[in-house]
Structure 1
Amino acid sequence: MNKKIGFIGTGNMGSAMIGGLISRGTVKAEAILVSDRNGDSLSGAETRWPGISCSTDNSSTVKGADIIILAVKPHIYKAVIEEIAPLVDESKIIVTIAAGVTISQAETMFGKDVKIVRTMPNTPALVGEGVTAYCCNSHVSESEEREIIPVLESFGIVEKIGEEYFHSVIAVSGSSPAYVFLFIEAMADAAVLQGLPRAQAYRMASQAVLGAAKMVRETGTHPGELKDAVCSPGGTTIEAVRTLEKGAFRSTVIEAMNNCALKSKEMTKG
């Protein structure tokens, strides 16, 4: 890719994206511009990725970049956009990563026609295993969309969806790492209760989740069928599954995700 990519913000998600772009060779470090008002964050970025251009001035990043990723918290989007809007022209593509900020809302903040790609990544992007959903506004051409996809693929898999499904995406991938972390912690706690050292419990529980997820992805087999294959008649696994179902395991997960999506809708309205 010959484009220059600018990041406004160097938090967890911005750092994950920068690291993925460089480690996968999507762009060279010299093609990345970063701005952040936090000098310590910038120093850390310069040390970690030699060659990137760093500044505390957002305008310098916007002027020099073809693709600008707004990697800041949702509550400061308006202030950042108002600052950079005069410098954004029809040649630049804006990528948003904030929950609760729709394309329409971002367009209103800019106050003019701007090319916007709305995305929703998740924190496993930090280890190159993220999921990112995206959609584009009408000003983004097909060729420009093709340029954005490798950027998003640099830290995980990418799915194009209609913007109306973003609330579901937040529930199923954006927020779901927290559910999985909770599940791993619970499994490890149970193993510790049964006498297993905690460090081993965490390694084994996390690897079990990783391996099970990989089986679903790589075999294409329905998760229910994979579950059935582990449940021998009268065995230990079916006993554990029975106990989970007695506690309304699946229904609780569904209810939690429904509430997550509802909260996302409330945030968007606000």
Structure 2
Amino acid sequence: MQIAFIGTGSMGGLLIESFLRSGALQPKQITASSRTLSKVERLSARYPGLKTASSNVQAALHSDIIFLCVKPLDFQSVLSELKDVVTEEQIVVSITSPILLAHLESILPSKAAKIIPTITHSVLSGASLCMYGERIRPEDRLLLEQLFSSVGTPVPIPETQVRTASDISSCGPAFLAYILALWADAAESRSGLDRNTAIQLGAQMLLGTGRLLTEGGFTVEQLQQRVAVPGGVTAEGLQVLQEHLFQVFPELIKTTTRKHEHDLIKLDKLFENIEA
């Protein structure tokens, strides 16, 4: 199996390194292209056997799966290059949330999928959000999910739910890191607990909590009940969270959805130009 990565920026490079670290892919199976050639050359130097393509077309030509790891507004030029090159047997995978499967299928003759990764794949963890176009066969889906199982947990979802699901799986690490930083700042200012120690404690707590909810068999409700003894400190703390966080996450989802819808409007116009 040969795989092309078009775009080796933050997430493209992370996926390449994660697949290699997990052992799911060998360097000789990967061809990469990038607008900044030096990024690909650094990857090739770090992983001997990884092939550097001088163009996106060269990267795509003999690949079974083609990952498009570029920014939304760069899709116009990339798809214009690929539309007369890719074949019906190839699988093109977008990792960009606002790019719709309908967009890809309207331009390319290939099979199309959308898989939204997360930064936690770099430690072989986290959920990949998987969506499939109409041309994807069951064996194609199995192939993609086996690949992403090596770096985390593939979770099929309807494309209509991608924005809210991405808030949790992909944006979530940034949101939780922000909350943890605020918590650590408060701990330091109120009690003198060293901020770095507070962050270390919080990071270990997040790691353990995730394992309890995945491997430990707890539901979120059961975990709260187990820790929050009636009348105890945790119960008092939960009351504060109930009073102050009730509207935070609906507002967060409202804000990210509004931005997503704005991006979709711009991209619809972009894809009309490609088709024309």
Cα distance in 1 for partners of 2:262, 2:225 equals 38
Is 2:199 aligned against 1:214? Answer: no
- Mapping of 1:1-270 within 5 angstroms? 3-108=1-106, 110=107, 112-193=108-189, 194-247=191-244, 249-270=245-266
Is contact 1:37–1:56 with CA below 8 Å preserved after alignment? no
Is contact 1:172–1:257 with CA below 8 Å preserved after alignment? no
Measure how far apart 1:171 and its partner are. Answer: 2.4
Cα distance in 2 for partners of 1:169, 1:153 equals 18
Cα distance in 2 for partners of 1:43, 1:147 equals 28
The verdict on how the C-alpha distance between 1:225 and 1:191 changes in structure 2, with shifts beyond 3 A counting, is same
User: What is the TM-score normalised by the length of structure 2?
Assistant: 0.89
Equivalent residue letter for 1:158: P
Percent of matched pairs sharing the same residue: 25
Cα distance in 1 for partners of 2:254, 2:207 equals 24
Cα distance in 1 for partners of 2:243, 2:170 equals 28
Equivalent residue letter for 1:137: G
Moved segments of 4+, more than 3 Å: none
Is contact 1:13–1:126 with CA below 8 Å preserved after alignment? no
The verdict on how the C-alpha distance between 1:123 and 1:250 changes in structure 2, with shifts beyond 3 A counting, is farther
Is contact 1:113–1:139 with CA below 8 Å preserved after alignment? no
The verdict on how the C-alpha distance between 1:250 and 1:156 changes in structure 2, with shifts beyond 3 A counting, is farther
SS at structure 1 position matched to 2:203: helix
The verdict on how the C-alpha distance between 1:160 and 1:128 changes in structure 2, with shifts beyond 3 A counting, is same
Q: Deviations over 1:195-254 (max 9, x none)?
A: 12222221111111121121111223221221121112332212222222221x143123
Cα distance in 2 for partners of 1:263, 1:107 equals 24
Is contact 1:131–1:173 with CA below 8 Å preserved after alignment? yes
User: What is the TM-score normalised by the length of structure 1?
Assistant: 0.91
Equivalent residue letter for 1:221: F
Measure how far apart 1:62 and its partner are. Answer: 0.6
Measure how far apart 1:55 and its partner are. Answer: 2.6
Unpaired stretches in structure 1, ≥5 consecutive residues: none
Equivalent residue letter for 2:142: R
Measure how far apart 1:67 and its partner are. Answer: 0.5
Counterpart for residue 270 of structure 2: none
Is contact 2:64–2:91 with CA below 8 Å preserved after alignment? yes
Is contact 1:33–1:64 with CA below 8 Å preserved after alignment? no
The verdict on how the C-alpha distance between 1:136 and 1:80 changes in structure 2, with shifts beyond 3 A counting, is same
